[in-house]
C-alpha cells in the first residue's frame, strides 16, 4: 500500500452526542504530503473529526481511510496517526525524556534506538537541553514543543494537530507557526492542522477546510476561499475585519433577494464614490487604519485604508466599492 501512504479519506462521517449533531456528513479527501487547515468556530466539530481519525471515538455513520485502508477495526495505538492535543496531554510525573520514550516503549522499540530517536526529535524542536525537566518546570511554548516532538517520534502517515498554537502568546505563536511550516516542508507528512484563527488558516495550509455546525462549507486553497467564499458564513468567517454583508436593495445596490458583500479592503475613500457615509470611529493600527462608518439608512460599513486616512469621527465621506460578492439571501450561497 505504499502508493497510498499519507492519503486520508473521510466518507460521510456523522457523530452525535445526545441531541447535539457534532458532525453531520463530513466528506474530505487529503492528498499524501498535504497540509490541511481545518478552521471553524468553537463547537463546529473540529476536534471531533480529529478524534475519529485517531480512533479515540467512533462515528455513528461513515468511514475513515488511512493509507487507503478502512481503519474502523484498528485501535488508536495501531493507527498510523499522531495527534497533538490542545492541552498537550503530557504525563506530569515523567520528564521530557520519559514523555518522549513512553510511546516508543509501548511499541517495544529497542532502548538504544528509542534513545537515539528521542534525542533527534528533541534536537529538531530545540528542546534537547530540557530532557531532564518535568512539564511543570517548563513554559507553555516548551511544553508545546515536547508534544510536537512526541508526535514526530511516531513517524506516522498523518499528523493531527489540535489548535497547537492557541495557548501561546502572539510572538511565540508567530515563530512557532513558521517552525511548523518548515517542519512540514522537510518531512512532507500529511497534516491536518485545526485552528479557530482565520489568520492561521490563511497562512498554514495548502488547502483550508471551513467547518460550521458539523458540516464542511468550503474546501480550497486559502486565497481562493478568501476571494470566492461559497456562502455568507465563509464570507464572514475568513477575513479580519470581516466582510461587510448588506441584504439586497441596500447601499451597495442589488436585488431584494440577494445579499451583497464587500471586504473592508475593497472599499476606498473616493470623492465621487457612489456610497455616502459618515465616519463614526477611526481605529489606527499603525500599518493601516480601519474606519467604522454608517450610511443614512443605518447600514454599517467597515473600511480599511492606509495608516493616515485624514478623516475623523463625524466626517461625511464617499466610498467606492471595488469588488462586490453576491449571495442568495434565502440560501446564503454564492451566486
Ligand atoms: N464527549 C462529548 N460529549 C458531549 N458533547 C460533545 C462531546 N464532544 C464534543 N461534543 C459537542 O460536539 C460539538 C463539537 O465539539 P468539538 O468537535 O469539540 O468542536 P470544536 O473542536 O470545533 O470546538 C460541540 O457542540 C461539543 O459540545
Ligand atoms: Mg476543539
Distance CA 185, CA 191 (A): 11
Residue 249: pLDDT over 80: no
Task: State the Cα–Cα distance between residues 229 and 208, nearest whole angstrom.
Answer: 12
Phi and psi torsions of 306, nearest 5°: -65, 175
pLDDT in tens, 294-321: 999 999 999 999 999 999 999 999 999 9
Pick from 213, 212, 215, 243: nearest CA to 227: 243
pLDDT, tens only, 11-63:
999 999 999 999 999 999 999 999 999 999 999 999 999 999 999 999 999 99
Confidence check: pLDDT of 255 > 80: yes
Average pLDDT, the chain: 93
Return the best residue to mutate from 17, 18, 198 for the ligand 1 pocket (most ligand atoms within 8 A of CB).
17
Share of the chain above pLDDT 70, in %: 99
Closest residue to atom 26 of ligand 1, CA basis = 43
pLDDT at 257 over 90: yes
Provide the pairing of β-strand 289-295 with 300-305.
antiparallel
Q: Residue 316 in 3-state DSSP?
A: strand
Longest dimension (CA), the chain: 75
- Tell the residue nearest (CA) to atom 24 of ligand 1: 43
Q: Measured from the CA of 40, which atom of ligand 1 is nearest?
A: 22
Q: Can you tell me which atom of ligand 1 is nearest the CA of 51? A: 17
Give, for ligand 1, the residue of 13, 18, 19, 20 to mutate: max count of ligand atoms closer than 8 Å to Cβ.
20
Name all domains of the chain by residue range, CATH numbers in brackets.
Answer: 2-234 (3.40.50.300), 242-328 (2.40.50.140)
Q: In what order do the strands lie in the sheet with 258-262?
A: 244-247, 258-262, 325-328
Report residue 22 as a C-alpha cell.
457534532
Give how far the C-alpha of residue 326 lies from the chain's centroid of Cα atoms, to the nearest Å: 25
* Local confidence band at 2 (pLDDT 50, 70, 90 cut-offs): low
pLDDT category at 115 given cuts 50, 70, 90 is very high
Q: What pLDDT shows up at residue 171?
A: 81
- 174 C-beta closer than 6 A to ligand 1: no
Specify the residue with its C-alpha closest to ligand 1, atom 6: 17
Residue 141 CB–ligand 1 contact under 6 Å: no
Does residue 154 surpass a pLDDT of 90?
no
pTM for the model stands at 0.91
Q: Please report the pLDDT score of residue 323 as a whole number.
A: 94
Confidence of residue 173 (pLDDT cuts 50, 70, 90): confident
Cα–Cα distance measured from residue 265 to residue 305, given in angstroms and rounded to the nearest whole number: 7
d(CA 332, CA 231): 5
Task: Point out the ligand nearest to the CA of residue 40.
Answer: 1
* Unique residue bearing C-alpha cell 464572514: 236
Report how far ligand 2's centroid is from the alpha carbon of 47 (Å). 4
User: Is residue 58 within 6 Å of ligand 1 at its C-beta?
Assistant: no
- The average pLDDT across 227-251 equals 93
Q: At residue 8, does pLDDT exceed 60?
A: yes
Q: How confident is residue 166, by pLDDT bands cut at 50, 70 and 90?
A: confident
DSSP 71-131: -TTS-GGGSSEEEE-TT----TTS-HHHHHHHHHHHTT--HHHHHHHHHHHHHHTT-GGGT
> Is the distance from the beta carbon of residue 48 to the nearest atom of ligand 1 less than 6 Å?
yes
Q: Tell me the CA–centroid distance for residue 145 and ligand 1, in Å.
A: 26
Amino acid at each position: 500500500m505504499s502508493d497510498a501512504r499519507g492519503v486520508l479519506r473521510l466518507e460521510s462521517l456523522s457523530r452525535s452526542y445526545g441531541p447535539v449533531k457534532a458532525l453531520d456528513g463530513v466528506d474530505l479527501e487529503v492528498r499524501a504530503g498535504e497540509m490541511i487547515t481545518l478552521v471553524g468556530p468553537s463547537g463546529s466539530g473540529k476536534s471531533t473529526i480529529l478524534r475519529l481519525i485517531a480512533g479515540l471515538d467512533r462515528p455513528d455513520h461513515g468511514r475513515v481511510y488511512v493509507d487507503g485502508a478502512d481503519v474502523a477495526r484498528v485501535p488508536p495505538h495501531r493507527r498510523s496517526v499522531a495527534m497533538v492535543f490542545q492541552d498537550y496531554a503530557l504525563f506530569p510525573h515523567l520528564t521530557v525524556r520519559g514523555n518522549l520514550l513512553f510511546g516508543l516503549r509501548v511499541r517495544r522499540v529497542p532502548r538504544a534506538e528509542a534513545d537515539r530517536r528521542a534525542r533527534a526529535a528533541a534536537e529538531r524542536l530545540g528542546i534537547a537541553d530540557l530532557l531532564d525537566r518535568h512539564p511543570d518546570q517548563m513554559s507553555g511554548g516548551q511544553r508545546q514543543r515536547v508534544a510536537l516532538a512526541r508526535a514526530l517520534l511516531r513517524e506516522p502517515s498523518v499528523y493531527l494537530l489540535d489548535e497547537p498554537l492557541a495557548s501561546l502568546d502572539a510572538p511565540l505563536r508567530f515563530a512557532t507557526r513558521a517552525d511548523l511550516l518548515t517542519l512540514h516542508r522537510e518531512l512532507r507528512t500529511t497534516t491536518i492542522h485545526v485552528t479557530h484563527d482565520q489568520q492561521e488558516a490563511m497562512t498554514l495550509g495548502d488547502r483550508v477546510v471551513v467547518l460550521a455546525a458539523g458540516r464542511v462549507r468550503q474546501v480550497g486553497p486559502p486565497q481562493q476561499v478568501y476571494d470566492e467564499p461559497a456562502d455568507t458564513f465563509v464570507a464572514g468567517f475568513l477575513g479580519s475585519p470581516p466582510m461587510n454583508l448588506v441584504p439586497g436593495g441596500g447601499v451597495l445596490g442589488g436585488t431584494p433577494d440577494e445579499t451583497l458583500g464587500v471586504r473592508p479592503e475593497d472599499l476606498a475613500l473616493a470623492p465621487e464614490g457612489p456610497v455616502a457615509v459618515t465616519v463614526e470611529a477611526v481605529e489606527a493600527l499603525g500599518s493601516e487604519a480601519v474606519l467604522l462608518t454608517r450610511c443614512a439608512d443605518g447600514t454599517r460599513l467597515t473600511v480599511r485604508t492606509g495608516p493616515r486616512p485624514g478623516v475623523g469621527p463625524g466626517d461625511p465621506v464617499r466610498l467606492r466599492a471595488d469588488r462586490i460578492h453576491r449571495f442568495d439571501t434565502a440560501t446564503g450561497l454564492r451566486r
